[in-house]
Amino acid sequence: MKRFFEILIQYKFLILALFIAISGFGYKAYKNIPVDAFPDITPKQVVIYTESVGNSAEDIEKLITYPIESAMSGLPGVKMILSNSMFGLSYVSIFFEDDLDTYLLRQLVTERLNTIDIPKGWGAPVMGPNTTGLGQVLWYALKDKEGKYTPSQLREMHQYAVTPLLKSVDGVEEVISWGGFEKQYEVLIDPKRLQAVDVTYNEVIEALEKSNQSVGGQYLEFNREQYLIRGAGLYGTMDDIRNTVIRSKKAKTVTIKDVATVQEGKAPRFGAVSVDGKERVFGMVLQRSGTNAAKVVESIKAKMPLVNAALPKGVSLDVIYDRTEITHKAVSTMTSALLTGSILVAIILFLFLFELRSAFIVIISLPISLLIAFLMMQEYGISANLMSLSGLAIAIGMIVDGTIVVVENSFRLLHDNPKASRAEIIAEATAEVAKPVLFALLIIATVFIPLLSLEGLAGKLYTPMALDIVFVMLGSLAVALLLVPVLSYMLLREGKHANSPLMRAIKAFYTPLLVFSLEHAKKLVLVTFFIFFILAGLLSQQGREFMPTLNEESIMYRVIAIPGTALTQSVENAQAIEKYILEKYSNDVLSVLSMMGRSEKGETAQANYMEVLLTLNPELKEIEALGKKMTRDLKEKFNYLQFVPTQPIAMRIEELLEGVSAELAVKIYGEDQKVMGGIAAQIAETLNDIKGLDHAEVETQLGQAQINIKPDYLALSRYGLSVAEVMQVIRYGIGEEAVTQKIEGVKRFAIVAKLKHAKQDINALKNLLLRSQSGKIVTLQEVCNITVVQGPAFIKREDLSRYMVLSIEVEDRDIATFVEEANEKIKQNVVIPDGYYIKWAGDFKNMQEATATLSMIIPITLLIILLLLYTAFNSFKKAFLILLGVPLGLIGGIVGLLISGEYLSVSAIVGFIAIFAIAILNGIVLVSFIDDLRKKFPDIKTIDLVKNATLLRLRPVLMTAFTTLFGILPLLYATGVGSEIQYPLSVVVTGGIISSTILTLLVLPGLYVLFFRKK
C-alpha cells in the first residue's frame, strides 16, 4: 500500500499532468453538457397519431385506433398503450421500458406501422415528433406591425418562410404552426345549378381529380439535339379551375364555372391562437430528444435575423416564451448555491487549518472533484439541471472530507518525524488513512443507491442526483488518494502544529461537556433515543406529498369549456379573458396569449380546451399572490368555464404522461361509455359518505353533439343513388376534404368542392339536394335517416380497453385507509356489470410504488453498509455502534422538517438519506481513531482513551461537519427558481448535520464506552 503511494510521488509530474488533463476535459464537459431545468422525465414513449379528417370518435376508434393498438401491443418492451380517439384524430401512445433506445423503438414502430390496414381515405398513421416533455423550447407569434396581411397570408408565411428556416437549425425536430387560417381554393357548388345542367356532384369531383395533373413525355430528337416533352396540366390559376370541363356533349360543354364559383377560402381548423384580444399566427419549436435545449435556442436566436429578413417588411417574429429562461434561472440558482457553498467551505477550511498550504490543497480538491463529476455526467448523458446540480451542492461538504483526512494525517506525521524522508512519510500517512477514506466514500456512495432503484417519475428525477453524488464522491476519492499525496509532497512544509484560535476556543468550551457526557453516558443515550422515537412518531403524522412543484415564475391556465364548444365560441371566450386580464391587471401583465384547440401536429386537445399564458411585468415580485387573486377573479367572472392554474413545463409533462394527474383516481374499464359513466356516478355517490373526501369528479367523455346521417338503402335504391355517392357528398361537399391540390411553387393548397349553404344549419343539411346519375333529385333526408344525438367527445383506452376516470381529492386523511374504506363501500353498494372492472390510480399509486421499492431497498442497503463497516473494522459491534449514530443525525432532520412545516416529500427523504451518510461518516472518523489509540495504548482506561481521542479528533469531525453544513447552507437560503424543490432537502440536511455533529461529539463517545467498557 505504502509502496503504491511512493510510486505515485515518484511520478508526481505524470500525476499532475494527468489531473490537469482531466480537469481540462472536465471543464470542456462542463461547458458542453446539456443544460436543462429538469432531468428528462419523459417516459420512453412513441406516439402515433392519425389525422382522419372529419371522422367521429367512434369510427376512428374502430377503424384506426384499434388496428394500431393491436399491432403495437406485440412489440418488445411495451409497458402500456394509451389511446385517445376523438373527432378527426386518433392518438396512440406506446410506453416502453426505459432502458430501450429511442431510435430502435421508432424503427420497430415504423416496421409495424406498415402492416396496419386502415381504410383508404381515412388518413395515414404518423409517428409523433421525437421530442420530450420539455421539448417545446420556444414559442413565438408573427408580428405584423402595419396590419397589412390577413391571417391566411401570415399563416402561409409561417409555413413556407419561417418553418423551413427554423427546421434546418441543428436540434430542431419540428416547428408547429398554430393559429391563423390555412388557405384553400373553394369550388363552391350550387346544387340547383347541378340539376339545371344535368351533372352530378360526383362528376364534378371526378373532373377536378382528373384535370389537375402533370406528366413527363420523355424527349424527341431534333437537329441533333434533345427536346424534353412535358405535359403541364397542373392548375396554374383560378381560371384553370373554373374552366375545367365536367362533361361535353357535341358543342355543349359544362364547366366548373357553370355550376360553381371558385374562390379563395379558409380551411376548417381545429385550433386558433389569440394574443391580447387579436388572433395571431403562432409557432412552436420542438427540440429533438437528447439535444441541448440551451444550444438549440441559442442557434435559433442566431437565425432570427435571417428569418426576419425572409419575411416581408413589417412582419417579424415575436418571442413569447423561451423555455431556456427558466432553465438558466434554475441552473443559476444551483450554480450560485454551488459557488457560494465552495467559497464558504474554503473559508471554513482555512479557519480550521490555519495554514495556507494545507488549506490550498484541500480547496483545490473541490473544483477538481467537481470537474471529474462533470466529465462523468457527460459520459453518462446526464444533463446539468436542478436535480443533478443539487446533488453536487449536497456533496460539496463531503467532497473535501477525504482530502482533509489525508492532508491532516500527512501534516501530523511530518510534524512528528521531521527527519525522515518526506516522500516516505507522506506515503505512510496516506496509506494509514487510505482504508477509512475508501470505505467512508464507498459507504456514502452506497447510501444513495436506494435512490437509483426508484422507478417512474421519482426515479427519473432523483436518479441523476444520486448518480451525481456518486460521481463526485468517486472523483473526490481519486483526488484524495492520487492527487493529494503528490500535492502534499510538493507543497506541505513541516511547521508548527498550527492550532487555530478558533479551535482553541472550541476545545475550551467542549472539554467539560465531553467529560460530563462521558460520566452520564447511559442516561444521555437513553434520553437521546427516547427523543428520537418521539420525533419519529411525530414524523409519521406529518403530511406527505410526492413532489414539491417547481415554481416556474409564470402564470398559466388551462381553461376548459363544455365538450362540444365551437371554436368560434372558444375564440370569443379567449379574447374576453385576455381583455379582462389586461384591463384588470394592467400594471402586472404585459400580454396574454391563448392557444385554443390543437395545432396540426397530433395534439389531443379539442376546441373546448385552451391554454392561457401571461407575460408578466419583469419587475413583478409577488407572482404567487397575484396568481391566486387572478384565479379567483377569473373563476368568478367567467363562471361558465373551468380554470386550472398550471405552469408551462408542468403542463407539458402532464400532457405527455397522458395518464391521470389527480392525486387519487378510480379508472373504470369497460365497453359502453354510458355504462361506465353510470358506474362512475354510482361510485362518486358512494364515496360521498366517506370521511375525508374533498370532491370526486367524473371525466365527461360524452357530450359531443353529432348529426348522424345513416343511409336508407331502400330509399337509395329507389332513386338510383349509391351509398358511395352519398358518402362522397358528405366527405367532400360537406366535410371539405381536399379533392386535389393546387401547387404553387413549393406551396400546396387544397382544392375543395364545397356545396353551397350546406352547413348553414341542420335544416339546410337535411335539405341538401342530391342528384343521381339517372337524374333523380332528392334531398339528403329523403335517402338518409338524419338524427341528432349526443355522442362521445373522445374515447380513451388503456391496453386495448376503454376506460373512464373518476378523479378524487382527499383531504385530512391518509389516502391508504381512504382507499381501503372506499373499496369496501364500493363492493357493497355499486353493481359492476360483467365485463366492467375498476382500478385505483393516480399520484398516490406512484408514491405507494416508490415507498414499496424503498422499503425493499433500504434494508438491503443497510445490510451492505453493515458489511462494509464490518470489512473496515472487522467487528460487528463497531459496525453497529456506528449505525446507532444514524438516529442521532435523523433527530435534527426531523426537527428541521417539523419546524419549517414542510411536507414529507421525496426531496425530504433524500435529505434524510444524506444525513444517514454524514452520520456514518462522523462515526467512522471517531471510532477508527479511538481504535488506533487503543491499539497504541492498550493499557489506558477506555473512558480516558475515548476522551483523549475525541478531543484529538475534534478538529476533523468539526471540519467535516462544518464544511457539509456550509456547503448546503446556500441551498437553504436560495430564493431563485427551483429553490423550492430543494428546500425540504436542505432543511433536513441542515438540521441533521447540526444534531449529528453535536451528538457524535457527545453521545457517540459515551456509546463507545458503554459498548467496550468491559474490555
Partner 1 sequence: MIKTLLLLLPIFGFSNNIILEHAQIKPLGKVIQTNAQITQLSDQKQEVVSRLSGHVEKYFVKAGRKVKEGDKVALIESLELSKMSAEYLSLLEQLKAAKTQLSTSEKLYRKGLNSKNELNSYIIAKQEIAAKKNALASQLSSLGIKTADLKATTDQFMLYAHADGVVGKILVPLHSNVDAQTSLMTLVNQSGYYALAYLSLDDAMKVTQKTTGYVTVAGEKYAAHFVQLLPTIDEETQRAKVLFQIEDSPKNLLLGTYTEMEISFEPSANVLMVKKSALTLFQGEWVVFIEAHHDGHEEKAEHENEAQEEHEDHDHDAHEDKHDAHSDHEEHEEEESPYIAKVVKILAYTGDYVAIEGIDTEDEYVSEGVYFVKSMLLKSSLGGHGH
**624 contributes a contact to partner 1 by CB under 8 A:** no
Binder to partner 1 among 493, 628, 691, 877 (CB under 8 A)? 628
**685 contributes a contact to partner 1 by CB under 8 A:** yes
CA distance 950 to 946: 6
**788 contributes a contact to partner 1 by CB under 8 A:** yes
**689 contributes a contact to partner 1 by CB under 8 A:** no
- Do residues 1007 and 521 lie in contact, with contact meaning Cβ atoms separated by under 8 Å? yes
Nearest-approach distance from CB 841 to partner 1, in angstroms: 19
Binder to partner 1 among 417, 642, 851, 900 (CB under 8 A)? 642
Binder to partner 1 among 150, 591, 617, 700 (CB under 8 A)? 700
Under 8 Å CB-to-CB from 645, ≥6 apart: which residues? 555, 556, 557, 627, 631
Q: For residue 344, give the nearest of 973, 992, 978 by alpha carbon.
A: 973
**719 contributes a contact to partner 1 by CB under 8 A:** yes
User: 114-138 burial, b for 16+ CB within 10 Å, e for fewer?
Assistant: eebebeeebbebeebbbbbbbbbbb
Q: Determine the residue type at 779.
A: T
**684 contributes a contact to partner 1 by CB under 8 A:** yes
Nearer residue to partner 1 within complex by CB, 591 or 767: 767
Q: Determine the residue type at 954.
A: L
**703 contributes a contact to partner 1 by CB under 8 A:** yes
Please report, as residue ranges, which positions from 975 to 994 form the binding site for partner 1 (by CB under 8 A).
Answer: none
Nearer residue to partner 1 within complex by CB, 318 or 782: 782
Q: For residue 758, give the nearest of 737, 730, 722 by alpha carbon.
A: 730
Binder to partner 1 among 200, 202, 292, 565 (CB under 8 A)? 565
**859 contributes a contact to partner 1 by CB under 8 A:** no
Nearest-approach distance from CB 781 to partner 1, in angstroms: 9
Nearer residue to partner 1 within complex by CB, 170 or 694: 694
Binder to partner 1 among 7, 104, 196, 420 (CB under 8 A)? 196
Binder to partner 1 among 31, 62, 493, 776 (CB under 8 A)? 776
**543 contributes a contact to partner 1 by CB under 8 A:** no
CA distance 69 to 4: 61
Nearer residue to partner 1 within complex by CB, 780 or 879: 780
CA distance 126 to 91: 10
Binder to partner 1 among 10, 102, 195, 851 (CB under 8 A)? 195
Nearer residue to partner 1 within complex by CB, 259 or 400: 259
Nearest-approach distance from CB 326 to partner 1, in angstroms: 23
From 437-445, 657-665, 697-705, 933-941, span contacting partner 1 (CB under 8 A) = 697-705
From 105-113, 278-286, 532-540, 556-564, span contacting partner 1 (CB under 8 A) = 556-564
Nearer residue to partner 1 within complex by CB, 416 or 811: 811
φ, ψ at 911 (rounded to 5°): -60, -45
Decide: residue 1014, CB within 10 A, 0-12 exposed, 13-18 middle, 19+ buried.
exposed
Instruction: For residue 669, give the H/E element and its range.
Output: strand 664-670
**243 contributes a contact to partner 1 by CB under 8 A:** no
From 249-257, 442-450, 736-744, 776-784, span contacting partner 1 (CB under 8 A) = 776-784
DSSP 730: I
Nearer residue to partner 1 within complex by CB, 195 or 417: 195
- Alpha helix locations (H) across 745-842? 762-766, 780-783, 815-829
Nearer residue to partner 1 within complex by CB, 73 or 642: 642
Nearest-approach distance from CB 757 to partner 1, in angstroms: 9
Under 8 Å CB-to-CB from 362, ≥6 apart: which residues? 349, 353, 400, 403, 404, 407
Asked whether the CA dihedral 884, 890, 895, 901 is positive or negative, the reply is negative
**336 contributes a contact to partner 1 by CB under 8 A:** no
**484 contributes a contact to partner 1 by CB under 8 A:** no
Asked whether the CA dihedral 863, 865, 867, 873 is positive or negative, the reply is negative
**695 contributes a contact to partner 1 by CB under 8 A:** yes
**779 contributes a contact to partner 1 by CB under 8 A:** yes
Nearer residue to partner 1 within complex by CB, 133 or 627: 627
Q: For residue 854, give the nearest of 898, 893, 910, 814 by alpha carbon.
A: 910
Under 8 Å CB-to-CB from 603, ≥6 apart: which residues? 655
Nearer residue to partner 1 within complex by CB, 228 or 625: 625
**636 contributes a contact to partner 1 by CB under 8 A:** yes
Nearest-approach distance from CB 630 to partner 1, in angstroms: 12
Q: For residue 66, give the nearest of 106, 112, 117 by alpha carbon.
A: 117
From 54-62, 178-186, 678-686, 727-735, span contacting partner 1 (CB under 8 A) = 678-686
User: 534-567 burial, b for 16+ CB within 10 Å, e for fewer?
Assistant: ebeeebeeeebbbbbebbbbbbbbbbbbebbbeb
Copy the grid coordinates of residue 489: 509532497
From 70-78, 116-124, 453-461, 690-698, span contacting partner 1 (CB under 8 A) = 690-698
Side-chain half-sphere of 492: how many Cα atoms within 13 Å?
31
From 243-251, 351-359, 537-545, 558-566, span contacting partner 1 (CB under 8 A) = 558-566
Nearest-approach distance from CB 465 to partner 1, in angstroms: 29
Count of residues making up the chain: 1015
**851 contributes a contact to partner 1 by CB under 8 A:** no
DSSP 132: -
**763 contributes a contact to partner 1 by CB under 8 A:** yes
Copy the grid coordinates of residue 238: 383560378
Nearer residue to partner 1 within complex by CB, 77 or 678: 678
Residues touching partner 1, count (CB under 8 A): 47
Instruction: For residue 66, give the H/E element and its range.
Output: helix 66-72
Under 8 Å CB-to-CB from 913, ≥6 apart: which residues? 447, 448, 450, 451
Nearer residue to partner 1 within complex by CB, 306 or 705: 705
Q: For residue 552, give the nearest of 457, 650, 619 by alpha carbon.
A: 650
Nearer residue to partner 1 within complex by CB, 545 or 600: 545
Nearest-approach distance from CB 259 to partner 1, in angstroms: 12
Binding track, positions 798-827, relative to partner 1; x by CB under 8 A: -----------x-x----------------
Nearer residue to partner 1 within complex by CB, 26 or 564: 564
**227 contributes a contact to partner 1 by CB under 8 A:** no
**778 contributes a contact to partner 1 by CB under 8 A:** yes
User: 740-756 burial, b for 16+ CB within 10 Å, e for fewer?
Assistant: bbbeeeeeebbbbbbbb
Q: Does residue 524 sit in helix, strand or coil?
A: helix
From 8-16, 213-221, 548-556, 759-767, span contacting partner 1 (CB under 8 A) = 759-767
CA distance 121 to 59: 13
Nearest-approach distance from CB 679 to partner 1, in angstroms: 11
**258 contributes a contact to partner 1 by CB under 8 A:** no
Which residues sit opposite 546 in a β-bridge?
none
- Do residues 885 and 527 lie in contact, with contact meaning Cβ atoms separated by under 8 Å? no
Decide: residue 350, CB within 10 A, 0-12 exposed, 13-18 middle, 19+ buried.
middle
Binder to partner 1 among 479, 561, 841, 882 (CB under 8 A)? 561
Positions that interact with partner 1 (CB under 8 A): 192, 195-196, 561-565, 569, 628, 631-632, 635-637, 639-642, 680-681, 684-685, 694-695, 697-698, 700, 703, 705, 718-719, 761, 763, 767, 774-779, 782, 788-790, 809, 811
